[in-house]
């Protein structure tokens, strides 16, 4: 048996329409999972990528501006693997940061993550099954950053929730872990990469000497979702080219 195979499993990936979420969905599909690609906008491109590599996928509309958007999803259909990737960011100096920007980010990045995990956990435990949760944290689960107060707070919270749920569910057949991506080539980092000064400073700090690819996160998610990671609980895996080790 291949310990990295996801054959026979169903996975739901939030924010699967682009970037890291799309790469995770595609990687899970290549590993054999049937992938439900969830997003607030169309995930047709991601579904097409998975189908093009002979995988199974379908899309689902979920907008986590409502943190309870997934409350009924897992009761309706059995899901074995949940990847909480959907997230937003707002940037402003701390002295100017608005309550609206705080609440919007916390709702999507933290409140929705917890209540989506809760709905998944209830369904898996209710059927006496096993499940895997992979939450997408951040380097800012460990560092402060600048001008992103609600994002930093939310990602610290994701790391904490991951550990709390692991403590409660590890003995009950659910693995809860997280991935902390480093600087990845996505639309969200395009401005940084286009700025010669910032790009140079970032690359000089990364021991690997390159920006990460979204696929780097996708393959890490396959590992944490697979039987190979059955004894891993409450971990926050840094996939950062060595950034935090510097």
Listed in sequence order, the residues at least 6 apart from 95 whose beta carbon sits closer than 8 Å to its beta carbon are none
Residue of 64, 120, 151, 169 with catalytic role: 151
CA distance 86 to 92: 21
Neighbours of 7 (CB within 10 A): 10
Whether the CB-CB separation of 151 and 140 falls below 8 Å is answered with yes
Phi-psi region of 242 (alpha: psi -120 to 50; beta: other; left: phi over 0): left
Residue environment code for 160-179, b if the CB has 16+ CB neighbours within 10 A, otherwise e = ebbbebbeebeeeebbbbbb
Instruction: State yes or no: is 151 an active-site residue.
Output: yes
What Cα–Cα distance (Å) separates residue 7 from each residue in 2, 170, 185? 10, 22, 29
Report which of 51, 52, 46 is spatially closest to residue 12, judged by C-alpha positions: 46
What Cα–Cα distance (Å) separates residue 191 from each residue in 15, 90, 102, 186? 21, 15, 23, 10
Instruction: Return the structure tokens found at 33.
Output: 């999972």
Catalytically active residues, by annotation:
151
């Amino acid at each position: 048996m291949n310990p990295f195979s996801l054959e026979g499993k169903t996975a739901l990936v939030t924010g699967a329409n682009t970037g890291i979420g799309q790469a995770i969905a595609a990687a899970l599909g290549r590993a054999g999972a049937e992938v439900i690609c969830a997003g607030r906008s169309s995930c047709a491109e991601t579904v097409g990528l998975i189908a093009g590599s002979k995988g199974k996928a379908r899309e689902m509309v979920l907008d986590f501006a409502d943190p309870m958007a997934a409350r009924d999803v897992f009761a309706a259909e059995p899901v074995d693997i949940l990847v909480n990737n959907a997230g937003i960011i707002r940037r402003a100096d701390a002295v100017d940061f608005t309550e609206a920007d705080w609440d919007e980010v916390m709702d999507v990045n933290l409140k929705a993550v917890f209540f989506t995990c809760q709905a998944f956990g209830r369904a898996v435990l209710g059927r006496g099954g096993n499940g895997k949760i992979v939450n997408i944290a951040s380097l800012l689960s460990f560092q402060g950053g600048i001008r992103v107060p609600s994002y930093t707070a939310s990602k610290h919270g994701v790391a904490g929730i991951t550990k709390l749920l692991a403590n409660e569910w590890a003995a009950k057949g659910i693995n809860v872990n997280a991935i902390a991506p480093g600087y990845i080539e996505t639309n969200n980092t395009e401005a940084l990469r286009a700025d010669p000064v910032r790009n140079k400073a970032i690359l000089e700090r990364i021991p690997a000497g390159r920006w990460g690819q979204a696929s780097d996160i996708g393959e890490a998610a396959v590992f944490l979702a697979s039987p190979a990671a059955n004894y891993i609980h409450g971990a926050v895996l840094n996939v950062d080219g060595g950034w935090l080790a510097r």
